[in-house]
Chain A
Amino acid sequence: MRQNRLITAGLALLLMFTGVSAVSAGNISFSGYVRNYTGILVDSDPLDYSQVQNTFDIKADYSGDMGDLHTEGFVYLDADNNLTAGIRELYADIYFNSLDLRIGKQQIIWGKGDGVFITDVVSPKDMSNFILPDFDEIRIGVTAAKADWYVGDFTLEGVWIPVFTPSVLPDSHSIWAVSMDFPAGMTPSIKSAGLPDPTFKNSEGFAKLSYMGSSFDVELIGGYMWDDTPVPHVTKFVPGMPPDVTVTPEYHRLSMAGGSFSTEILGVIFRGEGAYYDGNYFSIDPDNLQTDLIAGGDGTLQKNYLHYMAGMDYSVFGINLSAQFVQQVILDYDSRLKNDEYESTATFLAAKTFLNETLKVQFFGYYGINNGDALLRPSVSYSIADGLDVTAGSDIFMGDSGIFGQYNNNDMVYIKIKYSF
């Protein structure tokens, strides 16, 4: 299976290069980077590597009179010589007077939030390494047709994704694996999640109306989609027998509507983003699971919820500061749910450059208000020469529970060396 994937990726890369070499070299530009990323788990004894990864990323762009072709391929090679290769994006742009079409595999990014996903739900995510990779590596390209119609300062965007692509979850043996909690004595048998059939009926559609003009920017969005992560439905294996259960992860339809804005007031950028999600499935808390199963439930409840963010960016003494408050609210809340009714997170960023922008010191942090957990990400980057950067940093997880606290043993220090061309 993995070999087939590698062969497919290799063929795609080969096609990419042979394809672009067939057209006039004068209209083609190449860019990309080579990077080594080595991380050490500081809580391990003896010290273990969290990551030893070599990356080659290449983008090729061909420009024509009516449009452009773009492709980006990547290769990851780890210390055990395991090779992963693929195509991050591969699409064609066609330009008309007031209409642009983009067709092919592409990353589609919406919203005004930084480091959070509220209305940014078109492209699924690769969570193999939690949220630590760069965001263009976290986002997974989707094969889609996107149309942008421009009228003055307004843009109407429509996206059709014919075949659903799910998010990638951490491998069960990974340090980032998320364990499913079950009551003591209950033995789960976990099935693999089945994808929706690739039919027209199962396709996804999104629309966005945006305004970018003097004083403020606004986006209004809506989507009829699939939840990118499967929801575990629990059923008793054999009724009346010992409490063994079957867990069947399923993908569900989801509708959403929302918007975002940004504006500047007295030198401060204010940003906001929010969405209403209709009919999401939430898991029952493990303490209530047995009761729910006995009552005929399947360990889930369908609820609507709100997800929103308010943030601000400010610069003082050359230090760029940014703070965000993010909250999820489950409507018509049921106390049997695993999630809290209100789940709040705050983010904070401070960054400053020195030595004519060759040295950058940055701190980015997430704080989970409900569980008192946190992820702190200090880093220092130095540009050795144009295009050649070295970054040293650490990712520190704090707390015992919550989305960050669950990784309390995964504190790491790392160094990245990246050459861009």
Chain B
Amino acid sequence: MKKIHSAILMLVLLAAAAGTAGAETLSGLQIMEKVYARPKGPDIQSELTMTLINSRGSKRVRTIRQFIKDYGADEKKIMFFVAPADVKNTSFMTWSYGNSSKADDMWIYLPALKKVKRISSESKSDYFMGSDFTYDDMGNRLPKDDTHKIIGEEKINGEDCYVVESTPKNPDYFYSRTVSWIVKGEWIGMKKEFYDEDGELLKTLTINSYKKVNGYWVITSMEMDNVQKNHKTIMELKDVKIGRGIRDSFFTERMMKRGIK
């Protein structure tokens, strides 16, 4: 099961291809499947910047170069940490398996230890690099894992949206439900609310900007607000390249150790 994906992949998957005919008759599941099934390109590379802002307004910045390659249902991703300085040259690799129950394979390379370690992929609820995004938030959760219901229609930033409530089939999932605002016809997720296990609003995800790159929708700026901790993360994508042809040999221990120069 795919579990950890980059922000760009999440954004690309949240964005959706056109397809308006009969949209009014779609079910909640069909809407979320359109969001999930949107073509995302054979490979993606970008620079990801996360700005973490705490309740006092102080900022911390994390910068990552990431490379993702699509293998049909499967996917490989490698991330090179650029900043801050104390994590520079750390790298992180994931092989995800979409059409099977097999757990992701994940490795981390720590330059101080100079070795690649296999790590557990069972930490979906952990927050990524101290941000307000969990590993699961950054992945493309399968629509069949939730029960979806259209609970309304609203306009956001002038865009007509479906409002879809998604309730996990697994009662132990760390969100009790999520609510997504999906742009009609474009199938882009413009906003998402996450509710904790007690049913209280925990976080709100807001899309600030998105654009087409090489024919694929990519959201280039979004913000996750943790309303309970009064902490937020702004995630921005720069230098996005799609379909440049990343070699298979890029997703290996060799590249984790060598790093990106």
Q: Are B116 and A356 in contact (CB under 8 A)?
A: no
A100-B254, A356-B54, A357-B129 known; A262-B85 Cβ under 8 A: no
What residue in chain A is nearest B112 (Cβ atoms)? Answer: A136
Stretch from B21-29, B117-125, B154-162 that touches the partner: B117-125
Interface string of A164-185 (1 = CB under 8 A from B): 0000000000000000000000
Q: Digit string of B250-261 for contact with A (CB within 8 Å is 1, else 0)?
A: 001110001001
Q: In the complex the two chains form, is B112's CB within 8 Å of A357's CB?
A: no
* Number of A-B residue pairs with CB-CB distance less than 8 Å in the complex they form: 102
- Interchain CB contact under 8 A, B120 and A264: yes
Q: Is A148's CB under 8 angstroms from B254's CB?
A: yes
A135-B112, A136-B114, A267-B121 known; A356+B105 contact, CB < 8 A: no
Chain B residues with Cβ under 8 A from A29's Cβ?
A: 261
DSSP majority for the A interface? Answer: strand
| B120 contact set on A, CB distance < 8 A | 264, 267-269, 313-315
Partner of A356, one of B52, B83, B118: B52
B119's nearest neighbour on chain A, judged by CB, is: A269
How many angstroms between the C-alpha atoms of A271 and B122 in the bound complex? Answer: 17
Determine if A214 is an interface residue (Cβ-Cβ < 8 Å).
yes
| Contact, CB under 8 Å: A313 / B114 | no
**Residue A197 lies at the interface, judged by CB distance under 8 Å to chain B:** no
The answer to whether the Cβ of B175 comes within 8 Å of any Cβ in the partner chain is no
* A214-B105 in contact (CB<8A): yes
Most B CB atoms within 10 A — which of A150, A212, A213, A389?
A212
Give Cα A215 to B95, complex, Å.
10
Contact A356-B231, Cβ < 8 Å, known A31-B85, A315-B122: yes
Given the known interface contacts A212-B107, A356-B231, the answer about A217 and B118 at a Cβ–Cβ threshold of 8 Å is yes
Contacts of B125 in A (CB 8 A): 318
Tell me if B150 is interfacial: C-beta within 8 Å of chain A: no
CB distance from A91 to the nearest CB of B (A): 12
Q: Determine whether the beta carbon of B88 is less than 8 Å from that of A31.
A: yes
Q: How far is the CB of B220 from chain A (nearest CB, A)?
A: 23
Find out whether the CB atom of B252 lies under 8 angstroms from the CB atom of A153: yes
Query: Are B118's CB and A262's CB within 8 A?
Result: yes
A109 an interface residue at 8 Å Cβ cutoff? yes
A267-B122 in contact given A31-B85, A353-B130, A387-B84 (Cβ < 8 Å):
yes
Cβ-based interface call for B126 (8 A): yes
Nearest Cβ on chain A to B160's Cβ, whole angstroms: 36
Assuming A155-B253, A214-B105, A420-B86, what are 5 further A-B pairs, CB within 8 angstroms? A107-B114, A134-B112, A357-B129, A386-B61, A387-B86
Seen from chain B, the residues whose Cβ lies within 8 Å of a Cβ on chain A are: 52, 54, 60-61, 83-86, 88-89, 95, 102-103, 105, 107, 112-123, 125-127, 129-132, 231, 249, 252-254, 258, 261
Point out residues on A near B: beta carbons under 8 Å: 27, 29, 31, 33, 61, 63, 68, 93, 95, 100, 107, 109-112, 134-136, 148, 150, 153, 155, 210, 212-215, 217, 262-264, 267-269, 271, 313-315, 318, 353, 356-358, 385-387, 389, 418, 420-421
